[in-house]
Amino acid sequence: MREKWFVKNKKVDYKKISIKYGISELMSRLIINRDINDDEMIKNYINPDFKNFYDAREMKDIDKAVTILKDKIECNKKIRIVGDYDVDGVISVYILYTALKKCGANVDYEIPDRIKDGYGINESIIYKAQEDDVDTLLTCDNGISAIDPIKYAKELGMTVIVTDHHDIPFIEDENSKRTFIASEADAIVNPKQIECKYKFKKICGAAVAFKLIEVLFEKVKIDKDETYKLVEFVAIATVCDVVDLIDENRIFVKNGLMMINTTSNLGLKALMKETKIEDKEIGTYHLGFVIGPCINASGRLDSAKRGLELLLSQSENEANMLAKELVELNDERKDMTNEGVEKAIELVENSEIKKDKVFLIYIPEVHESLAGIIAGRIREKYNVPTIILTKAEDGVKGSGRSIEEYNMFEELLRCKDLLDKFGGHPMAAGLSLQEENIELLRRSLNQNTLLTEDDLIPKVTIDTALNLDQINYHMISDLNMLEPFGKGNSKPLFGAKNVNAIKAMVLGKNKNVLKIKLKTILGKSIDGVYFGNINDFEETILNKYGNEELQKLYDGTYNSVNLDLIFYPSINEYNGNSNIQIIIQNYR
């Protein structure tokens, strides 16, 4: 796929920053490139310590919520936590449930069924709570948009506390003027509220729950260290909810990863053992692509309560059994996802959809919980905003994933007359509609869009050009300080032009790794490793240099193959030896 390469070039005095904060100029550039540019954010980035947490009491309604909870605990009133079925929701329930139990609360929990209940607290859950003599409902990772259900709860005489991190709902008049609305809840804790003075708005639902518990523990005189023990769980939710890994989120994840690597939680230990990562240094990859998906799988194909029960396990036998179940569910989810992706690609390639600038793909048989994952895979393959629709009990449901140039929520807003329900943000959305409106929606989205062909060309952003001769162990050590990587704190990428490729070889059990010996400007050699599509690489060399030069490259004889590279420096350790190499991300 054709790509456009850009080099970030921010006009800043990097030398001044490096002197002020005691870091290298390269580190200064990389930090500024991630839009970490004010004094407090830079200090938090360099030193992500618990003492740099913002004051939780600055969050609107948090004192009110804590006062209510303390009173309910003292009066032994029944509290029910209502969470969500994704990782953030499950972890949020875990944090609130274990912490309230520690405070002596009469507390239980409910997590909606993804298919039967849909997202968030609803009237059915509220009615059941009243039947169970629940006095107080405490939402987490949901509730900010539950205007009518919360009104119903209040009519029934219940106390309602909302903790959430999602965008504030609004109504729009005929002139597209938006008025933000709030429910009748007794306390609403959400940093995105306009009136909220909290300094960092981009925390996940579990982090909001953590902040509530931080203030509650302080009020009931529980040691601060007990609050910090919850950080490892906030770290999992932060990575899996794909929020920016900067500022407070960096504090959660950097410290949380250290805690996870020595965790005493029986459920986490069992899950790491079952997924064969117990002997590895756990990083954001393992949270986002191993641990998280297993917890998520229960909410997609079974009940999210299974993931919560794993974390709450009190015996190794119980933990091992649940971990096995979750891994099996996740394996089933992977197979179902791959089938859905293959079907979606087939529909794109063999229809008019391929000419569209916005893909709307209807696969009736796909499990509705997998629509978002499949949409993400298709978006990655084609770099086109993608919505996957599937048959639901009442009409059609779907999930979309977008590209930076296309605000999916706003574009769906323009088609709202064709939709039964929808919600989301610029990069992702969920929707439901009637089957007869599918083609109308596809046509409308594509006719309305201002996307150009240029917008659909993938963009790769390079932090800075880097001479291969400049790479050394000290630089790589510096780069490691930037971890953990993720959204908002991407792994640094460097560019080098016209690099001579001396020899190439295909490695790996599945012959899926390409190792290229490269020649530096000073005539030294350095290994480059590429994990992408080797057939595409060979085709690029054939088209540019011809078959003879490709063969010379594989034979290691003198050739004229020169490459522009985007890469990341790393250390290769093997059999007790270590050497510097680069991981090649892109080439041309």
Same domain, 256 and 270: no
Q: Of 111-120, 187-196, 477-486, which gets the smallest average pLDDT?
A: 111-120
The distance of Cα 157 from the centroid of its chain, to the nearest Å, equals 37
Whether residue 520 sits in one domain with residue 413: no
**Residue 412 pLDDT level (bands cut at 50, 70, 90):** very high
CA distances from 202 to 77, 207, 238, 384, 575 (A): 33, 10, 10, 26, 43
Share of the chain above pLDDT 90, in %: 89
In 3D space, the residue among 413, 400, 397, 448 whose CA is nearest the CA of residue 171 turns out to be: 413
Task: State yes or no: pLDDT of 245 exceeds 90.
Answer: yes
DSSP for 32-77 reads HHTT--SHHHHHHHHS--GGG---GGGSTTHHHHHHHHHHHHHTT-
Residue 287, both tokens:
């949270």
CA distance 377 to 359: 12
* pLDDT tens string 532-555: 999 999 999 999 999 999 999 999
Would residue 578 count as lying in a domain? Answer: yes
In terms of domains, do 197 and 89 share one?
Answer: yes
* Neighbouring-strand partners of residue 462: 7
Same domain, 251 and 294: no
Q: What is the mean pLDDT of residues 408-431?
A: 90
Query: 275 and 184, same structural domain?
Result: no
The bridge status of strand 136-140 relative to strand 78-82 is parallel
User: What pLDDT is stored for residue 158 in this prediction?
Assistant: 98
Residue 233 lies in a domain: yes
CB 441 within 8 A of CB 360: yes
Query: Does a structural domain hold residue 201?
Result: yes
Q: Are residues 523 and 550 in the same domain?
A: yes
* CATH (domain of 363): 3.10.310.30
pLDDT for position 96: 98
> Is the residue at 361 inside a domain?
yes
Contact yes or no for 31/18 (Cβ under 8 A)? no
| 342 occurs within a structural domain | no
Give the rounded percent of residues in the chain with a pLDDT score beyond 70: 100
Q: What is the mean pLDDT of residues 130-143?
A: 97
Question: CATH number, domain at 220?
Answer: 3.90.1640.30
Pairing of strands 136-140, 159-163: parallel
Cα separation, 521 vs 496, in Å, equals 11
Average pLDDT of 426-448? 94
Per-residue confidence band for 176, with pLDDT thresholds at 50, 70 and 90: confident
Q: Which residue has the tokens 């692509």?
A: 289
Domain that holds residue 271: 264-336
Helix H, strand E, coil C: the string for 460-487 is EEECEECCHHHCCHHHHHHHHCCCCCEC
Place 302 in a pLDDT band, splitting at 50, 70 and 90.
confident
Listed range (40-44, 112-116, 372-376) with the worst mean pLDDT: 112-116
pLDDT at residue 243, rounded to an integer? 93
d(CA 445, CA 159): 42
Mean residue pLDDT of the chain comes to: 95
Amino acid at 454: D
List strands edge to edge, sheet with 187-189.
106-110, 78-82, 136-140, 159-163, 187-189
Q: Is residue 344 part of a domain?
A: no
Report pLDDT digits (tens) over 512-522: 999 999 999 99
Above 70 in pLDDT, residue 484? yes
> Domain of 508: which CATH number?
2.40.50.460
Query: Has residue 354 got a pLDDT over 80?
Result: yes
CA distance 566 to 460: 9
Domain end residue (candidates: 196, 228, 260):
260
pLDDT at 584: 98
The answer to whether position 44 is within a domain reads no
Using one digit for the tens of pLDDT, what is the confidence trace for 10-57?
999 999 999 999 999 999 999 999 999 889 889 989 999 999 999 999
Question: Residues 196-204: what's their mean pLDDT?
Answer: 96
* 200 within 8 A of 248, measured Cβ to Cβ: yes
Q: Does pLDDT of 133 surpass 90?
A: yes
Whether residue 482 is contained in a domain is answered as yes
Of 336, 367, 392, the last residue of a domain is: 336
The answer to whether 494 and 569 have CB atoms below 8 angstroms apart is yes
434/562 same-domain check = no
- Regarding whether 523 and 436 lie in a shared domain, the answer is no
Alpha carbon of 376 to those of 15, 224, 341, 404: distances in Å? 40, 40, 10, 13
Residue with tokens 């008019």: 352
Residue 1 binned pLDDT confidence (cut-offs 50, 70, 90): low
> Three-class SS of residue 492?
coil
Average pLDDT over every residue of 489-505:
96
Alpha helices for 261-398 (secondary structure H): 266-274, 284-286, 292-301, 305-312, 316-349, 371-382
Element (H, E) at 313: none
Task: Give me 437's structure tokens.
Answer: 């409106």
Are both 90 and 232 inside the same structural domain?
Answer: yes
Residue after which a domain boundary falls, among 260, 286, 318: 260
The whole-number pLDDT of residue 423 equals 82
End-to-end distance of the chain based on CA atoms, in angstroms? 11
Rounded (5°) CA angle 126-132-134: 65
Asked if residue 367 lies in contact with residue 343, where contact means CB atoms within 8 angstroms, the answer is no
Sheet holding 386-392, edge to edge: 359-362, 386-392, 395-401, 428-433, 421-425
Q: Which two tokens stand for residue 111?
A: 């997590």
pLDDT at 301: 85
Q: Is 384 helix (H, G, I), strand (E, B) or coil?
A: coil
Contact assessment for residue 307 and residue 298, using Cβ atoms and an 8 Å cutoff: yes
Residues 314 and 269 in one domain: yes
Is the pLDDT at 575 greater than 90, yes or no?
A: no
Give the helix/strand (H/E) hosting 559. none
* Non-local CB neighbours of 196 within 8 Å, separated by 6+ positions: 58, 59, 60, 190
**pLDDT surpasses 90 at 269:** yes
Residues 405 and 429 in one domain: yes
Cα Rg of the chain, angstroms: 26
Residues 6 or more apart from 175 whose CB is under 8 A from it?
Answer: none
Confirm if 234 and 165 have CB atoms less than 8 A apart.
Answer: no
Domain tally for the chain?
A: 4
Is the domain of 311 the same as that of 394? no
